[in-house]
Amino acid sequence: MALTETSGSTTTVGTTETNLFEITTGGPKYFSGYAFLHNLTATETIQFFVYVYDVNASAYRLYQGPDDGLQYSGVQGSPARFVVPVPSKQFKVTTKMTAGTNRAITWVLYEQTA
């Protein structure tokens, strides 16, 4: 199996849900990644949402979100946050701030193929 860094960037996050990354072609593969929260300040809260695609309904479905522990507040002692491996042909990870100001976060996406 080969592990490949697919992409990475910096995204500015505000109060509207914003895509960090979205995979719409290829696969099936395993995807995972990191979001780095080293820029978060004491008064800020950020949420993440992981969606998988339901091919039968032609719609994204929430796989993990803030209720599953994907909400972080304040300065992070361990700022690297792991996105669990998702087996899929199509999925996306989004984020939004629920407290504080717009914040730039960096991230990286990996894919694993046979």
Q: What is the 3-state secondary structure (H, E, C) of the chain?
A: CEEEEEEEEEEEECCCCEEEEEECCCCCEEEEEEEECCCCCCCCEEEEEEEEEECCCCEEEEEECHHHCCEEECCCCCCEEEEEEEEECCEEEEEEEEECCCEEEEEEEEEEEC
Query: Which comes out higher in pLDDT, residue 88 or 61?
Result: 61
| Mean of all residue pLDDT scores within the chain | 89
Q: What is the CATH number of domain 2-113?
A: 2.60.120.380
Domain assignments of the chain as residue spans, ordered by start: 2-113
Averaged pLDDT for residues 71-94 = 89
The pLDDT score that the predictor gives to residue 27 is: 67
> What is the pLDDT confidence band of residue 110, given thresholds at 50, 70 and 90?
confident
What predicted TM-score, i.e. pTM, was given to this entire model? 0.88
Considering 32-36, 73-77, 84-88, the range whose residues carry the highest mean pLDDT is 73-77
- Cα–chain center distance at 79: 14
Strands 80-88 and 71-73: unpaired
Phi-psi region of 98 (alpha: psi -120 to 50; beta: other; left: phi over 0): alpha
Query: Which comes out higher in pLDDT, residue 6 or 45?
Result: 45
